[in-house]
A and B are shown apart, each in its own frame.
Chain A
Amino acid sequence: MSSKLPSKAKCVVIGAGIVGNGMVYHLAKLGWKDIVQIDKGPLPNPGGSTGHASNFIFPVDHSKEMTAITAESMRQYKEFGTFTESGGIEVARTPERMQELARRITSAKSWGVDGGRIISPEEVKKLVPYIDETVILGGYYQPTVGVVDSLRTGTLMREKAAEMGAAQSFANVEVQDITTENGRVKAVVTDQGTIEADYVVIATGCWSPKLAAMAGAHIPLTPAVHQMKDIGPVPFFKDTKGDIEWPIIRDMDTFMYERQHGTGLEIGSYAHRPILYNAEDLPSNATATLSPTEFAFTQVDFDIQDEHSYELMPSIVGDENVREKYACNGILSYTPDGMPILGETPEVKGLWSVAAVWIKEGPGTAKSVAEWMVLGDSKIDLHASNIARFHEHHKDDKHVKARVAESFNKTYGIVHPLEQYESNRKVRLSPYYDREAKLGAVFYETAGWERPFWYECNKDLVAKFGDKVMPRTAEWESRWWSPIINAEHLQMRETAGIVDLTAFAYFDITGPSALAVVQKAALRQMDVAIGRVVYTPVLGPNGGFKSDLTIMRLGESHFRVVTGGAHGMADKKWFADLLPEDGSATIKDITSDYTTLGVWGPNARKIVQEVTSADMSNEAFKFSTCKEIDIKGVKVLASRISYVGDLGWEFYVPMADGPALWDALWESGKNHGMIPVGIGVYGTTGRLEKCYRAYGPELETEYTVVEAGMQTPKLKDADFIGKEAHVKHRSEKPAAMLCTLFVDDHTSSTGEKRYMMGNEPILTLDKQPITDSHGRRSYVTSAGSAPSLGKHILMSYLPTELAVAGNKFIVEYLGEHYPCSIAEVGATSVFDPSNERILA
């Protein structure tokens, strides 16, 4: 450690917990020098969340991104010799949890975490003799669970970076300000001097919002309490030598864990009421009772947990002579959507956030973010953690607190993939909201928008189509689903449907360099005629997907980008970062100014033609083009594209004109059998029948355009991000191909028909996981009904040598196996493969 703070650095890393230390280490490893690390507290334990962490790692999560980051973290902990394998068991007290444990094992197989299995209560007892096996129904045993020494790891990382001559660390330095200039970070002002820096990394966990605010940026997380209690000495553990020798127990249904720690038993809980703080209100090292992130234990919040741990481990917890050694309300970081907050802040260039990262993710996250900073992209896809994902309303503390309060108790909960938040809803309403509500819309949320997922007014259609709606009886896949979705789909294919797409994000790129900017972002040719609509992937430097979106050329120097709401803000930052510094192109976010309605189906042309003077014929209005038309006096930008596989248009109008547009189309649609259609069709059934890929599930940085089956016959001459990598991918044999599969038999062992939801592993016929030559597992990227075909569709990347139409596989779902086979290799649609309907 040096004594005098330098006045200049390439990069200042604020924070010396597991994340800050990891950042220093990985930036140094990737070749950066002149790194300065500071922390307000003392070393090696500055008083943040790392210092009181329970330090155990379960390697499985339903999120692929989290699992990959955790696996990379475990690899590093092992490399540093700070990982002790103990095994771990998630125990179930309810049948619902047993099903959830089977689901966790399927996720584990999909993400390449092996060795886990369901075990009986008696087997749990054999592994953990102090458990009362009569209160559980079974457990999920994962032998690779372990415990790490996060403080020691951090120290080693810091030391290695210092040995490389790349970094200096300073303890007891308090940051007072982070200054900026022209939207770029300039310096970190501390109580011991100012450090000018090209890059500043905020790795300060629960204090991050406070530090970001100094620079005018937002890191929307909240400090939240996690209670734990350490009891002992436990007579049963008196001969244990190590910190951890017995498997860790997660008592999932009570949201608790129990782990042996030396001669003690540590009992932790996510069951208590949410106890949230503000980053500004956390005490300093000097004024804190224990440490700034260890608040006094509030027993009253733990009363029920005492009883639950007693039930599970009566011989230890129930022993009057085993006493509380230590208990605290430990502070952790929670975010409104449960994912970390990583990346360069959209507000300030050069200011990076690495926040809301837990022990199990620390080293892997640090490596990935360091790659992103130094190389421009990370190997592991981090899109769900990207700080740029937040819309303005997400950054509001009221939203953060409401969502964390709602989701805190779901930390160990059984969370359905489609589960909706209940708090802080109706934040953004489309102009049609009241009309939709009257039609019985069931609203799901995207980026704060309320979107109809299906309409109860269409329920009579379920009877009309009968078994064609592929009714579901099993509770799990019926939850957050309705057969009305499939009925709407079938009706749209017969007549037409109107779809509210207000949740799109839109931004206009204008100026002399506008074409250059969109060319740089887009894989496809953007130097097209005015009025052309181009659907294009957006690639990262490694040639993986950063997005897929639509760009309309509205003028010589005017392009409009239309993209999904969920990823819209990240796309905005991506394009904004490409703007030339001379101001010759600008970007304007018009998301809140515009609304979109789509009308699709065989009758779409008739419906629109009746309310416009424009010629909507196929000859006059070609597919993939857009133009301004009038609809009953409203000026509308109409774009002839389709994400559902039928003839139709998207109509863009200013928000204020939305109701008039809806009413005009609705009136005309009545004569042609048009129904309101929800996002269930738009996002799943319509899309999957057409084998359209979606960003996130299919399109992500780990897969290439060639593997996704989306390469164009001819590559454009203009340069674009990822071109070099893409050219290379085109010349290689792809390791995997994205395939569309049909499930051949849905019948479970109990005779019930079951329908996969996505993320399940695809197995060989002898039930072995499938791995391609890059080490990637085959799993279901998207799943859903194809009502027009009477099939349940699965999309999956399969090794190229196995990717042959007709090849048979097994898909594992909730612990059972179902046969499936490849219907189509590549992007050709399984429904209307020649696109006659769209081009009609």
Chain B
Amino acid sequence: MDVLVCLKRVPLAGGTLILTPDAKDIETKHLGFGISPHEENAVEAGVQLVEQMGGTLTLLTLGPSDAEEQLRAQLAIGATRAVLLETDGQEWDPQGTAAALVDAINAEETKFDLIIFGAESVDSAGYQIHVRVAHALNRPIVTNVKAMKIENGIASCERVVATGREHYEAPLPAIVTVRDGLNIPRYPSVPGRMQARKKPVDMKKADPRVPKLEKLNLTIAPSKSTGAEILGNGADAVPALVEVLKKIGAL
């Protein structure tokens, strides 16, 4: 089974975000980079599938050359190889990104049985790329998957909705987007890191596309109140605590 996981290098923000002076980007001077939590679930799913069924796990990203750092980190937990579509560092719009990914997927010798995305990226949260890719590749897609099994060429997927659980089956080759709760992503080991250094990462220049979406500026959402409230000290606090527990249905 050959699996492809698509990733995006994103800043690891702390509590409060700071914007660049032109308000077009997040100030990343002090921030580290990683991938979105849901994408960690995606890679873990891919690693588990290859462990169970054999085959390969390929990683694909579009981003600056520095995104190699994120690819190597995921190669360290068990991916086979990676492809980096190198941009000049500018954020691409969803159409352009999806088109570049589709071209890259089509150019691959491997015809991937399953392509996994994280449900959304933590920075722009556009929820678009995976659908656009699925449409262009003419593949079925199941989004927001929290449980998945591959059997007899079919991906059985579960997603959680307000009223319960939905179950979908998609014939392979298919695309799924996954969320936290699907699995517990593993951390890399030192031997994993060492192997990752030697794994192939194909660096390709991404052909610039004419953007159809223009980012004017970002604004920071007003911070939510932390909501911390001191109910009291020691035994005096118990009645108030009981009230709260009742209110949230814990009692």
Contacts and interface: CB of A to CB of B under 8 A. Distances in A.
Given A286-B15, A288-B14, A299-B72, A231 B31 contact: no
B241 interface: no
B14 A296 contact: no
A813 B12 CA distance: 52
Interface in B6-63: 12-18, 29-34
Nearest to A231: B190
B193 interface: yes
Nearest to A322: B189
Given A286-B15, A287-B18, A281 B189 contact: no
B146 to A, nearest CB: 24
A322 B30 CA distance: 29
Contacts, number: 77
B188 interface: yes
Contact of B32 (A289, A306, A310): A289
B69 interface: yes
Contacts of B17: 287
Contact of B187 (A290, A309, A317, A324): A324
A397 interface: no
A603 B34 CA distance: 74
Contacts of B13: 289
A766 B186 CA distance: 59
A323 B185 CA distance: 12
Interface string A275-298: 000000111111111100001111
Interface in A220-255: 231
Contacts of B136: none
A618 B32 CA distance: 73
A323 B14 contact: no
A667 B136 CA distance: 90
B149 interface: no
Given A310-B194, A320-B191, A283 B32 contact: no
A307 interface: yes
B192 interface: yes
Nearest to A303: B197
Given A281-B30, A288-B30, A303 B14 contact: no
Contacts of B29: 281
A295 B190 CA distance: 20
Contacts of A300: 69, 72
A320 B191 CA distance: 6
Contact of B190 (A285, A289, A306): A306
B192 A286 contact: no
Contacts of B16: 284, 286-287
A319 interface: yes
Interface in B171-208: 186-194, 197
A325 interface: yes
Contacts of A319: 189, 191
A310 B191 contact: yes
Contacts of A323: 186-189
A288 B13 CA distance: 7
A47 to B, nearest CB: 11
B33 A318 contact: no
Nearest to B194: A306
A324 B185 CA distance: 12
Contacts of B12: 289, 296
B150 interface: no
Given A287-B14, A289-B13, A295 B30 contact: yes
Interface in A297-355: 297-300, 303, 306-307, 309-310, 317-325
* Contact size range, A: 20 to 34
Contact of A282 (B30, B31, B34): B30
* Contact size range, B: 20 to 34
Nearest to A291: B14
Contact of A296 (B32, B191, B192, B194): B32
Nearest to B34: A296
B121 to A, nearest CB: 17
Contacts of B104: none
A289 B187 contact: no
Nearest to B29: A281
Contacts of A288: 14-15, 30
Given A286-B14, A288-B14, A307-B194, A231 B30 contact: no
Contacts of A284: 16
A298 B70 CA distance: 10
Given A286-B15, A287-B18, A324-B187, A299 B193 contact: yes
B14 A289 contact: yes
A296 B33 contact: yes
B99 interface: no
B133 to A, nearest CB: 29
B73 interface: yes
Contacts of B32: 289, 295-298
Contacts of B197: 303
Contacts of A283: 14, 30
Contacts of A287: 14-18, 30
Q: Which of A281, A286, A300, A324 has the most B CB atoms < 10 Å from its CB?
A: A324
B69 A299 contact: yes
Nearest to B193: A306
Given A288-B30, A295-B32, A318 B190 contact: yes
A292 to B, nearest CB: 9
A289 B193 contact: no
B192 to A, nearest CB: 7
Nearest to B66: A300
A297 B76 CA distance: 15
B251 to A, nearest CB: 31
A323 B73 CA distance: 13
A307 to B, nearest CB: 6
A281 B14 CA distance: 15
B189 A324 contact: yes
B187 A296 contact: no
A290 B194 contact: no
Nearest to B12: A289
B16 to A, nearest CB: 4
Contacts of B188: 323-324
Contacts of B15: 285-288
Contacts of B191: 310, 317-320
Contacts of B14: 283, 286-290
Contacts of A321: 189
B127 to A, nearest CB: 25
Contacts of A303: 193-194, 197
A331 to B, nearest CB: 11
Contacts of B18: 287
A40 to B, nearest CB: 14
Given A290-B14, A320-B189, 10 more contacts: A285-B15, A295-B30, A296-B31, A297-B32, A300-B69, A303-B193, A303-B197, A309-B190, A322-B189, A325-B187
9 contacts: A283-B14, A283-B30, A287-B16, A295-B32, A299-B73, A310-B191, A317-B190, A318-B191, A322-B190
Closest 7 CB pairs of A and B: A296-B32, A286-B16, A283-B30, A323-B187, A288-B14, A289-B14, A287-B16
